Amino acid sequence: MSLFITSLNSGSNGNCYYIGNDSEAVLVDAGISCRETEKRMARLGLTMTKVKAIFISHEHIDHIRGVTVLAKKYRLPVYITQSTLTHGGLTLDEQLVMSFNPYEPVQIGALAVTAFPKHHDASEPHSFIVAGNAVTIGVFTDIGAPCEHVIRHFQQCHAAFLEANYDTEMLDKGRYPYYLKNRIRGGKGHLSNAQALEIFNNYRPTFMSHLLLSHLSRDNNSPELVQALFNEHANGTAIVVASRYAETAVYQIRATGSEDTTAITPLSVPTAEVLPGRLF
């Protein structure tokens, strides 16, 4: 029993993650163009005919850039909150707009997609876990703080896309203005390498086979730096840095039989304050 995953792009220039089984798949976010999504999937031997739905985490342009064309061309339902739809200025066919509620799984064929709130500077931001074939995949990006929501869901995952946006020293010494640095590290922005590593070291389940480090900053991080940092602590988990310029390989994630099936208890989190623009 397994699921297949890939990052089609990951970074402030666009985010799009594919998770599927042998017959159906979902996209979490659609932040690159329809044409580029199709090209990258074709190079991987994947097809849009398997994609049955798109789930949108929040309204920043690097997560929604391609959703309107993709949804229209392939008649795909888009699962999105009303606040995200409004703040994103999206024009979608009403018949394709679907809502979701935190902690209530949405069934897409044999895949169950569950959203939960996160800290980010957006109107109503969510992260997702996707489960099927006894495998659970998490998409944890654009997270301002490693709150209990992230920790509790991370512990369920056989594989995860985990944000490692910036190196603290590179951000401190970098060219960004002071206000932007504070937005990035201020609790509703992004996770640093150190914060991501703390989650991985302290809360990784024994059955996690793959960790895809995601949403790296172009200016405040280095793929080589973060790869080396996590390799030191991998302990059997394959560490992959998701590129902001190209797709990753497709990874087959299998259930091991040693999973803890403890149910996830819903938690409350304050609604994130809406701030202008997006983070890099």
* CATH number of the 2-254 domain: 3.60.15.10
Q: Strands 111-117, 126-132: parallel, antiparallel or unpaired by DSSP?
A: antiparallel
Domain ranges of the chain: 2-254
pLDDT in tens, 114-169: 999 999 999 999 999 999 999 999 999 999 999 999 999 999 999 999 999 999 99
Tell me the three-class secondary structure of 2-51, residue by residue. Answer: EEEEEEEECCCCCCEEEEECCCCEEEECCCCCHHHHHHHHHHCCCCHHHE
Mean pLDDT of 78-102: 97
**pLDDT at position 263:** 34
**pLDDT at position 270:** 31
pTM (predicted TM-score)? 0.91
**At 257, is the pLDDT very low, low, confident or very high (cuts 50, 70, 90)?**
low
**pLDDT at position 87:** 96
d(CA 280, CA 271) in angstroms, rounded, equals 21
Q: Average model confidence (pLDDT) for the chain?
A: 92
Residues 6+ apart with CB under 8 A from 81: 99, 100, 123, 124, 126
